[in-house]
Amino acid sequence: MGIRDFARSLRPGNDRELAETQYAGRESATNRAARKRRENHRRNIPKTAATSEAWEQRDRRRFGFGGGR
């Protein structure tokens, strides 16, 4: 990207045009951020589930299976 392209990218209103021409085939920053959020969310599910299950097991041992009746 030359200085002329950089200056053109700073002008308001042409981001869609730039995305279609100059950055064709590249993942947008918005799409990349969304993908990363999904990947991180899915990565944390097993750990969170295991932590929750351990907490639930401790509660069951502490209070019994009947709840508190």
Q: What is the pLDDT of residues 1-39, one digit of tens each?
A: 678 877 777 777 777 777 778 778 888 888 899 999 988
DSSP characters for 1-67?
Answer: --HHHHHHHHSTT-HHHHHHHTTTTSPPHHHHHHHHHHHHHHHHHHHHHHHHHHHHHHHHHHH-TT-
Count Cβ atoms below 10 Å from residue 18 Cβ, excluding itself.
14
Question: Is position 69 within any domain?
Answer: no
Question: Is position 68 within any domain?
Answer: no
Quick check: 52 pLDDT over 80?
Answer: yes
pTM for the model: 0.41
Question: Is position 39 within any domain?
Answer: yes
Give the domain range for residue 34: 3-63
- Helices (H) and strands (E) in the chain — how many of each? 3, 0
